[in-house]
Structure 1
Amino acid sequence: MKKFMDEDFLLTTETAKKLYHEYAEVMPIIDYHCHINPKEIYEDRMFENITQVWLGGDHYKWRQMRSNGVEEKYITGDATDREKFQKWAETLEMAIGNPLYHWSHLELQRYFGYEGYLNGETAEEVWNLCNEKLQQPNMSARNLVRMSNVKLLCTTDDPADSLEWHKKIKEDGFEVQVLPTWRPDKAMNLEKSNYMEYVNKLEGVSGIKINSFKTLIEALKNRMDFFEEHGCCISDHGLEYIMYAPAAEEEVEAIFAKRIKGETISRQEELQFKTAFMIAMGREYAKKDWAMQLHYGVQRDLNKKVFRKLGPDAGIDAINNNSSAIEMGQYLNALAETDELPKTILYSLNPVDNANIGTVIGCFQDSSAVGKIQQGSAWWFNDNKQGMIDQMVSLANLGLLGNFIGMLTDSRSFLSYTRHEYFRRIMCELIGGWVENGEYPADFKALEKIVKGISYNNTVRYFGFKL
């Protein structure tokens, strides 16, 4: 029996161990998609206790606590932090096979030096150990980033954001680059009740009167220039699915005019507007050589009772079975027809879409970038051992795994960088297994290039980061 989560955790062959310990483990981290608050980096936030770090906004954990019958009081309610931590510890004990079990213990090992395991009985010991460590200066937000060997991270930011914290971080001389990512969902989602409030806000920051679809795009281009000045080179879109419902320019303008007047927009009009919006954005990204991330396949806020009480990101989202199989290709083709298809990364929440994405990306590769169209790493509900294996095996079967840009945290926590370690171990076990089985030669020069590439080097090359 192997020791619990020892140095060879998830590594079962000698080749896998060599690949991880000699190549993957030593590589720095680029976290090109996360939801960390840049203000907390600038202010170098200190955390009072482990509950603040772990449970404050982590809907992954909230879901499992509810599944364990925990009252909402101990999840998002007014229970004490110690009480909430106890309920999480008791829940984690039941989470055998869940990635949260591995993530939590990797974080306890790497940041707090705790080699035991967390459950209801050990909660007091772990609570005291973690809280004592969190009072030390080396556990501040910036030092946690440094400790994790992070060289660059990209936050997720609205076009109307002032980016003041990114500017202050840079001026302050923090050696880790903290760059914004362009996330224009609010400008696209005209079906939302507060859409015109957002348009007015965008008007204010851009200085452009928005009275048409054309001027909406002009205002966004103005803000894109501002983001570019602050180092932005990546966009991100959160989509229900990748739609493609093309309409003539005058039709799109008519739809936007209806929305300005407060008239009801039909579902078909919504899709036509969003298609025009996404085509316009894609063209601008191509001009700027920005990469475009498309996250899709989500049903959001299913439990309306919980949503009314807690709002979005409360742990009540699920997989959408609309695969975008046809429309995704049509959208990419519309941009490729005019040589305006940017570097694109596709993430579906539905694992059934792996092969679909793998075949579509092969249709739009060209010599402008190695692996120009990527399948993104296993996302959200797929961000687990089997999900990562399935994504990488599918990508290897249908494309070039060696050009894959690898892992990201997609997290709000400063302790989530161990997810990169988790991914790298799984990746090395997978590749090492192929070598051990005679499916790839024991050519360690080539293997080093592949493993270091997926861990770090491919990401630097793909996005063009200046490090």
Structure 2
Amino acid sequence: MGFLTEDYLLESDAAETLYASIESLPIVDPHTHADLPEIVDDDGWDDIWEVEGATDHYVWSMMRKRGVPERKITGDADNREKWTALAEVFPELAGNPTYEWIHLDLKRRFGIEQPISAETADEIWEETKAQLDDRSMRPQALLSEMDVEVLCTTDDPTDDLEYHETAAESVDVDVRPTWRIDRALHPGRDSWLQFVADLEGATGVDTSSLSGFLDALERTHDRFAEHGCRASDLSLAELVTRPVGRRRASDVYRRALDGRNLSEREVRDFQAFLVEEVGRLNAETDWVTQFHIGAVRDYRDELYETVGSDVGGDVSAQSIDLAENLEYFLNEFDGEMEIVLYTVDPTHYPTLTTISRAFPNVSLGPAWWFNDSPYGMAEQLEHMGTVDLLANHAGMVSDSRKLMSYGSRFEMFRRSLANALGGMVERGQLPMAHAEDLAEHLAYDRPKSLYGFE
């Protein structure tokens, strides 16, 4: 088997047949970190580092591991220096999905076949730079070429959604916002206090009391609904749900605004109260509730202090009692709305898969972050298919900050899916006709139906 040839990741004739049946389906992407101004303005990029490295903490992490100085990653080196530094260590990234994604980008979008290395760095730089001048390499043209049908951004509740309004008129893709409430969930932090102020500014509602805060949040929820939003999202290292009264939440809110030190119990009580309020709002509007669980942010202190947040210093948390923590919320909203659970730690799959099996309205999201690889996808699909139902998997999301990689990430998933189902066909576990139906269902129909993009 050659490098990234037509049988890439496909280990049987059945897998090749299945992939051929789904490779050209449109992309429905319910969770991205797309830069919507970049798409709407449609100015394009100047060079390959801007395309592949400038916003990608996956790339940054790998470069640090191979000893590249920070100056040539997020520092003041020019883009050509940064690309050259990446190319010099790129052969050493083999085995990590980043290695395959970027090579797939070069092959599928630029027609460049040669592997990235110190020897090919200059040639690839010049060739991609020349191609990036063409209008066919602008963001909107690329979205069309990759056949992206639906794209959901990730947005703070205080966002005015101005670019979404423009996109609805000027972009030939169904672009929808997602209500991401992470900043609301950490009472007492400086970022939380800023969020409270921003929320008041965005809505004109006095947020000096819990009642005002909740009213303002609901107004943003309504505004997002008017702009076609179909889901909320939140990410916590440990999501704890339990019944918390309004009086208790109001007391914690007041203490947080006053700058008091909050106990862990107070913070968790406020989070539990607010998550239930989010559930109530989502149930009323029939939104999907997405929970991203287990990511410990900014774990490496030195990196956070010198470079900042979301730069590749995050890790996964294992010691979480998922069954106990989720029990209250899942029973409170049993059958009331669709819920999608993501975990960054694959040892959580057994618990989350049995939870998904127990609740028809709960689905397991795709292999996320550190698991977003052929190995991670295969592991998750195999486990879920034997414990729950593959038909109830939520489908793929790119979770990407790089527009260029949407196609590559979905290709990797579809090939992994075809290989998993093809193996079942080869082992006599299901007939090809049912495998074809299931492949199309998970590659396209399931996320479109689950999120209500019909």
**TM > 0.5 fold call:** yes
Work out whether 1:373 is the aligned partner of 2:373: no
In the other structure, the counterpart of 2:344 is: 349
Structure 2 Cα separation of the partners of residues 182 and 69 of structure 1: 38
Structure 2 Cα separation of the partners of residues 115 and 215 of structure 1: 57
* 8 A Cα contact 1:405 1:455, kept in partner: no
Q: CA deviation at 1:334?
A: 4.5
Work out whether 1:362 is the aligned partner of 2:352: no
Where does 1:347-426 land on structure 2 (aligned, <5 Å)? 347-365=342-360, 372-417=361-406, 418-426=408-416
Output one character per residue of 1:314-363: Cα deviation in whole Å (capped at 9) or x when no partner.
11111111333233432334523xx5742111011110001110001122
What code does the residue aligned with 1:250 have? R
Work out whether 1:269 is the aligned partner of 2:266: yes
Work out whether 1:217 is the aligned partner of 2:176: no
In the other structure, the counterpart of 2:444 is: 456
| Aligned equivalent of 2:91, options 68, 90, 93 | 93
* 8 A Cα contact 1:332 1:341, kept in partner: no
Output one character per residue of 1:172-231: Cα deviation in whole Å (capped at 9) or x when no partner.
2x2211110000111222131232222121112222212322322211111111001111
Structure 1 Cα separation of the partners of residues 322 and 182 of structure 2: 22
Q: Secondary structure at the match of 1:416?
A: helix
In the other structure, the counterpart of 1:368 is: none
Structure 2 Cα separation of the partners of residues 151 and 14 of structure 1: 29
* 8 A Cα contact 1:403 1:453, kept in partner: no
In the other structure, the counterpart of 1:51 is: 49
Output one character per residue of 1:240-267: Cα deviation in whole Å (capped at 9) or x when no partner.
1111343322111111111122211111
Structure 2 Cα separation of the partners of residues 213 and 275 of structure 1: 14
* 8 A Cα contact 2:152 2:175, kept in partner: yes
Structure 2 Cα separation of the partners of residues 333 and 155 of structure 1: 26
* 8 A Cα contact 1:241 1:322, kept in partner: no
What code does the residue aligned with 2:312 have? G
In the other structure, the counterpart of 1:436 is: 426
Structure 2 Cα separation of the partners of residues 391 and 212 of structure 1: 44
Q: Residues 328 and 360 (structure 1 numbering): CA distance in 2 closer, same or farther, change over 3 Å?
A: farther
What code does the residue aligned with 2:280 have? R
In the other structure, the counterpart of 2:4 is: 5
The RMSD of aligned alpha carbons is 1.3
Q: CA deviation at 1:439?
A: 1.5
* 8 A Cα contact 1:283 1:335, kept in partner: no
Q: Secondary structure at the match of 2:51?
A: helix
What code does the residue aligned with 1:374 have? S
Structure 1 Cα separation of the partners of residues 355 and 123 of structure 2: 51
Work out whether 1:175 is the aligned partner of 2:172: yes
In the other structure, the counterpart of 1:16 is: 15
Q: Secondary structure at the match of 1:104?
A: helix
Work out whether 1:186 is the aligned partner of 2:183: yes
Say how many residue pairs are matched.
Answer: 453
Q: CA deviation at 1:89?
A: 1.0
* 8 A Cα contact 2:165 2:227, kept in partner: yes
In the other structure, the counterpart of 1:196 is: 193
Structure 2 Cα separation of the partners of residues 80 and 257 of structure 1: 48
In the other structure, the counterpart of 2:255 is: 258
Q: Secondary structure at the match of 2:396?
A: coil
Structure 2 Cα separation of the partners of residues 427 and 403 of structure 1: 14
What code does the residue aligned with 2:435 have? L
* 8 A Cα contact 2:188 2:259, kept in partner: no
| Aligned equivalent of 1:78, options 72, 76, 79 | 76
Output one character per residue of 1:46-99: Cα deviation in whole Å (capped at 9) or x when no partner.
100000011111110111111101111111111121111111112211012111
| Aligned equivalent of 2:303, options 302, 306, 310 | 306
Q: Secondary structure at the match of 2:92?
A: coil
* 8 A Cα contact 1:283 1:341, kept in partner: no
Q: Residues 45 and 322 (structure 1 numbering): CA distance in 2 closer, same or farther, change over 3 Å?
A: farther
* 8 A Cα contact 2:298 2:313, kept in partner: yes
* 8 A Cα contact 2:33 2:400, kept in partner: yes
Q: Secondary structure at the match of 2:322?
A: coil
* 8 A Cα contact 1:242 1:324, kept in partner: no
Structure 1 Cα separation of the partners of residues 191 and 60 of structure 2: 28
Q: Secondary structure at the match of 1:186?
A: helix
Structure 1 Cα separation of the partners of residues 322 and 289 of structure 2: 18
Work out whether 1:64 is the aligned partner of 2:62: yes
Q: Secondary structure at the match of 1:354?
A: helix
* 8 A Cα contact 1:405 1:459, kept in partner: yes
TM-score by length of 1: 0.94
TM-score by length of 2: 0.97
* 8 A Cα contact 1:99 1:384, kept in partner: yes
Structure 1 Cα separation of the partners of residues 264 and 18 of structure 2: 51
Structure 1 Cα separation of the partners of residues 66 and 379 of structure 2: 28
What code does the residue aligned with 1:202 have? L
Contiguous gaps of at least 5 residues in structure 2: none
Output one character per residue of 1:424-457: Cα deviation in whole Å (capped at 9) or x when no partner.
0011011101111112123x2x222211110011
Structure 1 Cα separation of the partners of residues 268 and 392 of structure 2: 33
Structure 1 Cα separation of the partners of residues 413 and 90 of structure 2: 21
Off by >4 Å, runs of 4+ in structure 1: none
Structure 1 Cα separation of the partners of residues 176 and 278 of structure 2: 19
* 8 A Cα contact 2:26 2:148, kept in partner: yes
* 8 A Cα contact 2:237 2:293, kept in partner: yes
Q: Secondary structure at the match of 2:208?
A: coil
In the other structure, the counterpart of 1:165 is: 163
The answer to which of 155-164 and 321-330 deviates more is: 321-330
The answer to which of 203-212 and 27-36 deviates more is: 203-212
Structure 2 Cα separation of the partners of residues 4 and 18 of structure 1: 20
* Percent identity for Structure 1 against Structure 2: 35
Output one character per residue of 1:233-290: Cα deviation in whole Å (capped at 9) or x when no partner.
1111011111134332211111111112221111110000000000110111011000
